[in-house]
Structure 1
Amino acid sequence: MIQVAGRPFSQENAGDFGSVGHVILQQMLESPELFAYPSMNGLRFDINMRIHILDSSKEMNASQVTFTTFEHAQCNPAYWTLTYAGGFLLRNDVRPSEAILDIYRNSSLYAFECATAIIIIYYQAILKSIGSQRFDTIFQNLYLYSWHTDPNLELNSFYSSNRFLPGDVVYFNNPDFHPQTPWYRGENAVVMSDGMFFGHGFGIMTAEEMIEFLNTQRSPGSMQSAYLTNLITRISSQTMQMLFTLQRGRLIYRSAKKVVHHNLCSISCIDYQYFLNGH
């Protein structure tokens, strides 16, 4: 369900959200989860962000970026410094927006795992939503590694029995992954608008196809199938509100986040938070 300015949303006053936007809007209306916005523009910004997440996922799928482990990560040294842990640290002489766009423009120079892929998709979707000038103001010290994000990009991960929406990120878990291929412990995937999922290294496919492939990567004799969990990850509502209301050119100062170099590919956002909290 949707509330705008404290009142139930009326589709009669919605205007045109486009075909994909309408699918997202309809699923939000049918969801038992409450989506509350201070204005129609706030709702429209949220839906447009989800559309940009879908578009960025399709663009990554069509690109030449490859899936690899942190040990073999690659990036364009003209924009990023490759760290010992396999992360990409933004060079101080380039614009953050240009560095993110370069991953798509010169995709053959890049290789990373699926959690990093989700964060790159988020950054490009935000860039599409707010433009390069504001993006460069907000995200000045990018470091791409697993689920680590800039202080101004907060994520919300939670378990929910409700249906997920296009633009959400879900996790396919493979509890009996083969010890020789630990990067198949699971897959982070973007929910598309047509019942499909995008996972870096997998492509765009159905949930059944993702599970079927993960099941080929289990330990010998395993009887436990991979499965789609009910974990949902989204850009937090606080971040969405900040991005929507931020005045052009205003500099944001927030303390840097701790980063945990865990060296475990394809973990969920919840697992990364677990490491971050010292467990």
Structure 2
Amino acid sequence: MIQIPYGVMKPSSKTISPLQQSIYQSLKESHVTYHYFTQREMLFELQLRENIVKAAFQLNESKVNFSGFENSTFNKEYWEKTEVGYQLKKGKKPSDGIRDVFINSDQYIFECVTSIVIIYYKAVLESIQEHYFNYLFSQMIVWAHNYDKDLGMYSIKKVDLFPGDVVYFYNPDYEKPIWMGENCVYLGNDLFYGHGIGVGTAAEMIEALNSLRKSEATESAYLLPQVTRLDFRYLSRFE
């Protein structure tokens, strides 16, 4: 259910995309109440969710490779490797640094948590004014769970799953720690994107992780009952 103080106006199909219409309908039909201060705030969430999906497809189609931190690389023109991740170099704009991941993708190697952060940054960049993006993320650092808190990432028990949400497929009998699980963006229609595996259904994600278990494995990979989202309300201030 969607709740807005002065009532909900159904978005026109002329003003929002088919994917946004689908997300809107899912929000509306949910047994959970989703509160918005304004119609504009709701529309911002629909747009940002779509941009997350778009960024996931773009990363999937790029030449970015997959590896752990010890074998990772970022374009040295923009990024400097530190003990906790890749720090944007002084004098470089965060917007340019994030775009470069997609432009010069063959110069980047990272793992799945980092891919989620990159996707989120790219989606936010496409959803808010660029000068705000560069202000909010001026001290940008990227690697795994090291990221700017202005993204507002948080995880909750899964009650709904909408395109743009991030989920985690856990692999308890993994052979190598890097395959302990897979962070994935939900794309809609039971499709997920996970860096290192690609685009596939939930069953295909589990099958891929099961192929990466230790030889005496007995427990299948499975989807954890939680989702990770951005603070859409906070970010909408900078549209």
TM-score, normalised via structure 2 length: 0.95
Name the counterpart of 2:56.
Answer: 57
Which residue, out of 93, 96, 99, partners 1:95?
A: 93
Q: Secondary structure at the match of 1:32?
A: coil
Matches within 5 A, 1:68-217: 68-85=67-84, 87-160=85-158, 162-178=159-175, 181-217=176-212
- Range 14-23 or range 206-215, more displaced: 14-23
- Structure 1's consecutive aligned runs of 4 or more residues displaced over 3 angstroms after TM superposition are none
Identity of aligned residues (%): 35
Name the counterpart of 1:230.
Answer: 225
Q: Secondary structure at the match of 2:150?
A: coil
Unaligned runs of 5+ in 1: 248-279
Name the counterpart of 1:30.
Answer: 29
Which residue, out of 210, 227, 241, partners 2:233?
A: 241
8 Å contact kept, 2:171–2:210: yes
- Rounded to whole Å, the distance in 1 between the matches of 2:179 and 2:234 is 35
How far apart are residue 149 of structure 1 and its match? Answer: 1.9
Alpha-carbon displacement from aligned partner over 1:228-254 (angstroms, at most 9, x marks no partner) = 111100002xxx22322248xxxxxxx
Unaligned runs of 5+ in 2: none
Q: Is 1:220 the equivalent of 2:215?
A: yes
Q: Secondary structure at the match of 1:129?
A: coil
Name the counterpart of 1:257.
Answer: none
8 Å contact kept, 1:65–1:109: yes
How far apart are residue 37 of structure 1 and its match? Answer: 0.8
- Rounded to whole Å, the distance in 1 between the matches of 2:74 and 2:196 is 16
- Range 213-222 or range 50-59, more displaced: 213-222
8 Å contact kept, 1:6–1:36: no
How far apart are residue 60 of structure 1 and its match? Answer: 0.2
- Rounded to whole Å, the distance in 2 between the matches of 1:6 and 1:159 is 29
Name the counterpart of 1:262.
Answer: none
- Rounded to whole Å, the distance in 1 between the matches of 2:34 and 2:56 is 24
Q: Secondary structure at the match of 2:224?
A: strand
TM-score, normalised via structure 1 length: 0.82
Q: Secondary structure at the match of 1:192?
A: strand
Name the counterpart of 2:66.
Answer: 67
Paired AA for residue 195 in structure 2: H
Q: Secondary structure at the match of 2:169?
A: strand
Q: Secondary structure at the match of 2:80?
A: strand
8 Å contact kept, 2:69–2:110: yes
Supply the RMSD in Å over aligned alpha carbons: 1.4
Q: Secondary structure at the match of 2:225?
A: strand
- Rounded to whole Å, the distance in 2 between the matches of 1:41 and 1:154 is 19
Name the counterpart of 1:250.
Answer: none
- Range 130-139 or range 224-233, more displaced: 130-139
- Rounded to whole Å, the distance in 2 between the matches of 1:163 and 1:243 is 21
Q: Is 1:4 the equivalent of 2:4?
A: yes
How far apart are residue 10 of structure 1 and its match? Answer: 4.7
Q: Secondary structure at the match of 2:229?
A: strand
How far apart are residue 145 of structure 1 and its match? Answer: 1.3
- Rounded to whole Å, the distance in 2 between the matches of 1:84 and 1:40 is 43
